[in-house]
Structure 1
Amino acid sequence: MTELDARLGKLLDGRKEKNRFRSFKEYDTTSDSGLVDFSSNDYLSLTSSKALRKAYIERLASTPSIFGSTGSRLLSGCTPSHSLLEKRFSEFFNAPSSLLFNSGWDANVSFFSSVPQPNDWIIYDELVHASVHSGLRSSRIPLERRISFSHNDPLSLEDKLKIITNQASSSSSSKKQEKSTVFLALESLYSMDGDFSPLPKLLDILDKYISRNRQCVILDEAHSTGVYGKQGRGITHALAEEGGFELDSNKRKRGKGRVDVRLMTFGKAVGCSGAVLLCSPTVRSFLINFARPLIFSTALPHSTIIALECVWDVLQSEEGDQRRRSLMSLSTHIHNSLDKLLSKVPHTILHLPPDPIIPFPDLSDRDTDILPSKPGSPILGLLTPTPHALSAFLLSKGFIVRPVVPPTVPPGGERVRICLRAGMRYGIIDKLVAALGDWADLKMAEKDQEVRAKL
């Protein structure tokens, strides 16, 4: 063993001692295995769509180029297929322009490492994705100008904005402050608690303290792409049928462009890989010139471009609507079932995060297929002090439910995470909830034995 292996091995041993060690797990999820996957982000079950598979194979057979793109977009990888797909996305999402990336991670790192300038500010939800943090570490924004606010908390955001405005008013370089941009980084649907950002409230508060020409709101829609909004256009588009502005509490249209940049990713409900950043033409051009992950990476292969075209055909069809309706119905069912179960279980054994803010109270009279006033989330984080043991117990019952532990979540936020898919049956969900009830009964019995032993 080399000295390097020895040092790294000690660090890995430390992770094992803290029960934070990670490793790859392989599961057979074929119909013969008897295992049901509740950990996949394949929310619309598109990866198992027979119609999509047929359309994809047919299009591959009729397309000359199906393998690699042969280079980065700045070299040989900018093909008509890539440009046409970007044009389709710009029109579909009602965006000024769009730019393809190999992943949502690359897109976030590209944007946050290059677009914000040294005199700017970045405010971000404390639970925003790790890729945002990685981008900021590579940016030129000083550490003191990167400020987090408490998760989904409008009052906390207001406190942070007061700090910025107070510092600007007392600064000797007021002219520079007047020209600085305040970036606000949010997600529409957060992947650990499965809760939605209260976008209208947060953006109204931003308007209160920062003039519109100094704002840049970036919304990561990784977990809402394909699921919410008309034909899966996302939360921003659902909040107003012309994406790019929100609604205030009086249902009046506010200034266009309140969400300036949207990230739509393809690795979850879309069932593929890659991402698209929806932004202004100027931001797009800037990223092409300065975003290193884009400049120095081979472009998405033709096989992926073809797959995305086929997926969007499904998303814009009746099949896509049916899959979204099915997912929302399953979400309502499991939330109702878990509410009944957990009302009888001590919080110290198993519980959901606190009830989230109802994020879109102004839309109760809107089409529920687009965005209900309390939209169901396909993600549920069940908090427990023993996530690994609960995950193993559920696996023994035939359910793949993965544990999530620090540093992915803060200490005390250990959990198992349940993800729903549109192709699931109600009976399978009922069996999972029953297994969770068995686990809770087992743990409550163990606690009773401990109490009796002490008497």
Structure 2
Amino acid sequence: MGALDKRLEALLQDRKAKNRFRSLKEYNTSTSSELVDFSSNDYLSLTSSSELRQEYLKRLAASPHILGSTGSRLLSGGTSAHSALESRFSSFFDSPAALLFNSGWDANVSFFGTVPQSSDWVVYDELVHASVHSGMRASRVRPERRIPFRHNDPDALREVLLRIRRKEDAGPSSSTKQEGVIFLALESLYSMDGDLACLPAFLDVMDEVVPRDRQCVVLDEAHSTGVYGSGGRGVGHAIGEAGDGRVGVRLMTFGKAVGSSGAVLLCSPVIRSFLINFARPLIFSTAIPHSTLISLECAWDLLQSTDGDQRRDKLMSLSSNFHALVRPILARTPRSTLSLPPAAAAPFASARQRHPTLPADPFSPIIGLLTPRPHALSAFLLERGLVVRPVVPPTVPPGGERVRICLRADMGMEVVERLVKALEAWADQERAGGVGRGTAGVQQVQLRGRL
């Protein structure tokens, strides 16, 4: 073993000692398998839709372009098919412009790495995705101008914004002083806690403290694309703040509920042009292949259909029933053994006057169950044919260890009941074996700075 491998092996052993070692896992969760997958982001079960498969293969057979795009969009990779899909998304999502990316990661890194400038501020929920942090680190925004606030807490956002305004007021006065833009980075549905952002309240706080012309609200809808809103248009559209509203930039990704890959950034034409000129992940990446473009056209046809509505309704029903079944179990289980993360109540309550059909507190298909023994719980569930993966630092902060449960539209209620019974059996086993084993008040830990 060479010097490099020895050094890396020592670092890997250190991670193993901290119970943070990662390895690639493969599970047979096909229809012929006895395993049930509760870790997939395929919320609407599109990847197993026979109708979608048939339509995709039919269109693939009829297309003159079926494989790679052969180059970046600034060279030879851009085609009318790429532009047509962007036009479709611009119209469908009520956005002035749209720009395709190979992944949500590329889109976030591109935006936050290039658009904010040195005079700007980036204020972000402490649990925003790692891609936002990577983009900020690559940007011209100085570290002291990148400020987190407590997760999903509008009052905490107000405190940060007021602090920024006081700093600006205390600075040197000049008639030529240029006040920067204040970017607000949020996710509509958080991937680890499974809670929805109090978006209307956040937008009201921004209007209270920051002049509208200095605002740029960026909403990452990776886990809500396809799931929420009319036709799966997302949370920003559902509460009426998309397009020319107060949410200026939205990220919709296609690797989760849409069942494909890639992403689209919904923004102004000026931001779109700026990214084409300065975003390195876009400039130096081969464009999305034609096979993926075709899959996206087919997927969105389904999402806009009655089938799509039925899948969304089924998913919300499953989520509601799961919570109804699991909450009594958690109520009699020590919080340091198994618990739900703290969640903001009624995240859309303040928007219901304008949109009375909007549920004040919609359910989420993502359920994070905090436990200091996530590996043990995951193994216990796997023995019973249920694939539920543990999530440990650095994906979540120390003290935020958990298992992450994801529901899918094609699951039967009997499968969900089976999972709940297994969770109850594990909680009973832990209680019998001695409460407090290795616990440190998981519920009380402030989950900060997920990177």
TM-score by length of 2: 0.94
Deviation of 1:31 (Å): 2.3
Task: Report if the CA contact (8 A) 1:119-1:177 is conserved.
Answer: no
CA spacing shift, 1:177–1:226, aligned 2, 3 Å: farther
Counterpart pick for 2:408 among 418, 421, 426: 421
Matches within 5 A, 1:55-454: 55-172=55-172, 174=174, 178-240=178-240, 243-244=242-243, 256-362=244-350, 371-447=358-434
1:363–1:372 Cα contact (<8 Å) kept: no
In the alignment, residue 339 of structure 1 is paired with which amino acid?
R
CA distance in 2, matches of 1:365, 1:52: 38
448 and 18 in structure 1: CA distance in 2 versus 1, 3 angstrom threshold: closer
Q: Who is 2:448 aligned against?
A: none
Contact 2:337 2:435 in 1 (8 A): no
Q: C-alpha displacement at 1:243, in angstroms?
A: 2.5
Cα separation, partners in 2 of 1:367 and 1:152, compared to 1, 3 Å: closer
Q: What is the alpha-carbon distance in structure 2 between the residues aligned to residue 355 and residue 83 of structure 1?
A: 40
Contact 2:122–2:182 (8 Å) recurs in 1: yes
Counterpart CA distance in 1 for 2:222 and 2:333 is 33
Gaps of 5+ in 1: 245-255, 451-455
Q: How far is the alpha carbon of 1:175 from its aligned partner?
A: 5.1
The 8 Å contact of residues 337 and 436 in structure 2, kept in 1 or not, is answered as no
Question: What CA distance in whole angstroms lies between the structure 2 residues aligned with 1:367 and 1:429?
Answer: 32
Deviation at 1:343, TM superposition (A): 1.2
Q: Which amino acid aligns with 2:283?
A: I
CA-to-aligned-CA distance 1:110-142 (integer Å, 9 cap, x gap): 000000011110000000000000001110111
8 A contact 1:221–1:262 mirrored in 2: yes
Task: Give the residue type in structure 2 aligned to 1:77.
Answer: G
**1:179 CA displacement:** 3.2
Q: Structure 1 residues 363, 159: closer, same or farther in 2, change over 3 A? A: closer
- The answer on whether the counterparts of 2:72 and 2:286 sit within 8 Å (CA) in structure 1 is yes
Q: 2:405 is paired with a residue of what secondary structure?
A: strand
CA distance in 2, matches of 1:366, 1:431: 40
Structure 2 gaps, min length 5:
438-451
* Matched residue SS, 1:200: helix
Change (3 A) 1:173 1:407: farther
Change (3 A) 1:74 1:396: same
Q: Structure 1 residues 195, 284: CA separation in 2 closer, same or farther (over 3 Å shift)?
A: same
Return the alpha-carbon distance in structure 1 between the equivalents of residues 163 and 325 of structure 2: 44
**Distance (whole Å) between structure 1 residues aligned to residue 408 and residue 287 of structure 2:** 30
Partner of 1:251: none
For residues 420-439 of structure 1, what are the alpha-carbon distances to aligned partners after superposition, in whole Å with 9 as ceiling and x for unaligned? 00000000000000000110
Amino acid at match of 1:276: V
- What secondary structure, in the 3-state scheme, does the structure 2 residue paired with 1:41 have? coil
> In structure 2, what residue type is equivalent to 1:286?
F
SS of residue matched to 1:147:
strand
**Are 2:183 and 2:217, in contact at CA under 8 Å, matched by a contact in 1?**
yes
* 1:6 matched residue in structure 2: 6
How far 1:349 moved relative to its partner?
A: 1.2
SS in 1 for 2:286: coil
Q: Which amino acid aligns with 1:282?
A: V
Corresponding pairs, count: 437
Partners of 1:228 and 1:371 within 8 A in 2: no
In 2, Cα distance between the equivalents of 1:103 and 1:120? 26
Matched, 1:25 2:13: no
C-alpha contact (below 8 Å) 2:345/2:361 kept by paired residues: no
The answer on whether the counterparts of 2:188 and 2:219 sit within 8 Å (CA) in structure 1 is yes
The sequence identity of aligned pairs, in percent, is 63
Q: Could you say which residue in structure 1 is the equivalent of 2:441?
A: none
Cα distance between partner residues in 1 of 2:140 and 2:386: 45
Structure 1 position 163, deviation (Å): 1.3
Give the structure-1-normalised TM-score: 0.94
Q: Retained in 2: the 8 A contact 1:189–1:197? A: yes
Cα deviations by residue, 1:384-429 (Å, 9 ceiling, x for unpaired): 0100010000000000000000111111110000000000000000
The structural deviation recorded for 1:356 is 2.4
Shift of 1:173: 5.3
On the 8 A contact 1:99/1:278 being kept in 2, the answer is: yes
- Measured against aligned partners, the alpha-carbon deviations of 1:271-309 in whole angstroms (never above 9, x if no partner) come to 000000000000000000000000000000000000000
Checking the alignment, whether the CA contact within 8 Å between 1:70 and 1:76 is kept in structure 2 is yes
How far did residue 32 of structure 1 move?
A: 2.5
Are the equivalent residues in 2 in contact too, given 1:338–1:433 (CA < 8 A)? yes
Shift of 1:200: 1.0
Counterpart CA distance in 2 for 1:376 and 1:27 is 28
CA distance in 2, matches of 1:57, 1:280: 34
Counterpart Cα distance in 1 of 2:392 and 2:305: 39
2: CA distance, partners of 1:174 / 1:206: 25
Mapped partners of 2:6, 2:418: distance in 1:
46
User: Is the contact made by 1:273 and 1:304 (CA closer than 8 Å) also made in structure 2?
Assistant: yes
1:247 is matched with: none
Distance 2:124 2:398 in 1: 20
Q: 3-state SS of the aligned residue for 1:278?
A: strand
Amino acid corresponding to residue 213 of structure 1 in structure 2 = D
SS in 2 for 1:218: strand
Distance in 2 between residues matched to 1:428 and 1:174, nearest whole Å:
65
SS for the counterpart of 2:183 is strand
CA deviation after TM superposition for structure 1 residue 322, in Å:
0.3
- Distance in 1 of aligned mates of 2:62 and 2:141: 48
Contact (CA 8 Å) 1:119, 1:176: kept in 2 or not?
no
